[in-house]
Structure 1
Amino acid sequence: MLENTPSRTAEVVALIRALENTYYGETSLLKDRYAARFLSDFYMAIFNRLSILPEFTSFFVNAASLGLFDFITLRHAFMDNYVRRFAHKVPVALLGAGYDSRALRLADDIKHGVWEFDFPATQRRKKFYLRNERITGEAPHYIEADFMKESLTEIFERSGMQKTATLVLWEGVSMYVSEAVVRDTLTACRDYFGAGTLVVFDYWHSKMTDPVKNLAVQVMPFIMDIVYNERFTYGATPQEMRAVAMECGAKKFESLNGQQIMKKLTLTSRLPLASASLAVVEF
């Protein structure tokens, strides 16, 4: 990520959520009517051109993105379900929140507050776009943080979050850091929030058994670097990620690919990419 520049991939994710809501309407997984508010003129122009096309266009958008469109919406919906299940009992922390809208969409489910942590440039831009938004219930706590310059424990302490079981969502971040940062993040959540804490995050697969898919996995980091200046730097197989989580003190670990997420959501109409998964770590 370029310093002092809002995240471009966070905006792409907002674009995908906005298109998913437009294409599917009442059957949308996310029903995210806020996502389009975070789009710059460039991405708003793309949204305006694609959103006027019929629902079946989503198939071609997904094919053009090699399944990323569907994986991002499935990932987001899966994490939404965790908010609905646990946010009435524990606080919610969003690490690298980007242009997340859960504090608005799921306000009725959040009973113990939501803390959004992100780089200053992205978070300030988000707050600017929401400056006139009327928020029902408790407003989110915005915490500016540079995760590369400050330890996560220091960031948590500065945020004023209590040391209690917490639902931590870490979305679209792990592939841009190192294995050491992944370990430090899991360990910091374990040590600061304690027993009962859940960390839900997605991760990129570093290699795959299928040679064609494996080639795509090897090329993708370079594509991300060229297009967004945000290159993938870390990936792991499900077995490797399980080992990392267990070594960090996890009591339970679950990894789900796109097809498995669809089963959890009782859904069969999406075609997500196969080179990423979601991890659920319980301490």
Structure 2
Amino acid sequence: MREDTPSRTAQWVAAARGLGMLLPADIRIAEDPYGIAFASTRIQKLIEERRPSVLAQVPGFKTWIAYMQVRTKLLDDAVRNFVDMGGRQVVLLGAGFDCRALRMPELDGSVVFEVDHPATQEHKLSTLAKLGAQSPARYVTWDFETRAMDELPEGLADAGHDAEQPTLTIWEGVTMYLTEAAIDASLRAIADYSCPTSQLAMTYQAKTPGEKLSLAARAVQFAVARLGEPFRWGWDPMALPEYLEERGFALADDVSTPEAADKLLPPELASTISRADHSRVALAERL
């Protein structure tokens, strides 16, 4: 992303999450009434004109909505489970236009810290202001390109984070855009501000040595690269447990998006997500 503009992929994600409203209520598994506000002007116009049938014909559109339904549901459930266990601190690392602090009543009584680039945060705040909405989140302005990640625990502490209390870190839609060095530095920073029993929920791209990408996967990589935010990193799922353990975390769960879709969505919608999709959601606990 450019220094003075919000993340384009963050806009995609928020819009797709919000466009879940196009699905029939009986099969919808995640709701975000704010997400559509971050969509492009063209998509918003189609929604306002009540032309969802037009949107449904856009190549890959239904797949993207289904994918975001699954991803959002898995991470929302991680939040709910953490709160049910007594956790009251959530860090959204690379928050983008995530509106969980606003849309999830389960987070009432919890403190949500949103960490992201100033341009993205400014766009988010101005968009929410136009809706008359004010998020209770605490914003931690962070330029990931210029600030060292080992400074993040201090930055969170300045915003009121208590490193002695359990924290859930949501790292959604971020890891694939980072270098190996940035991944390592980020995980060590997360470990530094997370006491034992804290949790990390993250999305990532599976990358098996020697495996050839499907046509759909190559198309996604081409699209995000055109937006100036190319994929750079992925894990071999078999190697992930050891990688995390070396950085202070124990892997608790790891599921592919297609597998989760088969369990959460009706067959006709789940089938739109390619079996070759490499996206996964992992949950780990601080040792």
Same fold (TM over 0.5): yes
8 Å contact from structure 1 (residues 19, 51) kept in 2: no
Is the contact made by 1:70 and 1:270 (CA closer than 8 Å) also made in structure 2?
yes
Q: TM-score, normalised by structure 2?
A: 0.84
Q: 1:65 to 1:26 in 2, by over 3 A?
A: closer
**For 1:168-219, what per-residue CA distance to the aligned partner results, in whole angstroms no more than 9, with x for missing partners?**
1011110000122222222221221121111111111234877562x55456
Which of residues 57, 60, 63 in structure 2 aligns to 1:64? 60
Deviation at 1:167, TM superposition (A): 0.6
Aligned pair 1:116/2:108, yes or no?
no
Distance in 1 between the 2:34 and 2:219 partners?
A: 33
Which residue number in structure 1 is paired with residue 81 of structure 2? 85
Is residue 2:246 matched to residue 1:247?
A: yes
2:278 match: 275
Paired residue for 1:18? 18
Q: SS of the residue aligned with 2:146?
A: coil
Q: Which residue of 2 aligns with 1:33?
A: 33
Partners of 2:65 and 2:52 in 1: how far apart?
A: 17
For residues 178 and 16 of structure 1, the distance between their equivalents in structure 2, rounded to whole angstroms, comes to 26
Name the structure 1 match of 2:257: 258
C-alpha separation in 2, matches of 1:118 and 1:85: 25
Gaps of 5+ in 2: none
The answer (yes or no) to whether the contact 1:78–1:265 under 8 Å persists in 2 is no
2:172 and 2:98 map into 1 onto residues whose CA distance is 10
Residue aligning to 1:180: 181
User: Of 55, 59, 69, which aligns to 1:73?
Assistant: 69
Which deviates more, 234-243 or 95-104?
234-243
Q: Once structures 1 and 2 are overlaid, which stretch shifts more, 71-80 or 17-26?
A: 17-26
Q: CA deviation at 1:133?
A: 2.9
Match of 1:106 in 2: 104
SS in 2 for 1:279: strand
Cα displacement string for residues 242-261 of structure 1 (whole angstroms, at most 9, x for unaligned residues) = 33212212223421101332
Name the CA shift for 1:10/1:108 in 2 (closer, same or farther; >3 Å).
same
1:206 and 1:195 map into 2 onto residues whose CA distance is 29
> Are the counterparts in 1 of residues 254 and 282 from structure 2 also a CA contact under 8 Å?
yes
**Partner residue of 1:125?**
123
Which runs of no fewer than 5 residues in structure 1 stay unpaired?
none
SS of equivalent residue, structure 1 residue 147: coil
Secondary structure of the equivalent of 1:165?
Answer: coil
Instruction: Tell me the secondary structure at the aligned position of residue 201 of structure 1.
Output: strand
1:139 aligns with 2:136: yes
Structure 1 residues 216 and 198, CA, compared in 2 at 3 Å: closer, same or farther? Answer: same
Structure 1 counterpart of 2:53:
53
**CA–CA distance in structure 1, aligned partners of residues 50 and 238 of structure 2:** 38
Residue pair 1:167, 1:198 contacting (<8 A) in 2 also: yes
Aligned-partner Cα distance in 2 for 1:64–1:264: 21
Asked if structure 1 preserves the Cα contact closer than 8 Å seen for 2:95 and 2:116, the reply is yes
Amino acid at match of 2:13: V
The percentage of aligned residue pairs carrying the same residue is 27
Letter in 2 for 1:143: V
CA distance in 2, matches of 1:36, 1:243: 39
Corresponding letter in the other structure for 1:276: S
CA separation in 1, counterparts of 2:239 and 2:216?
20
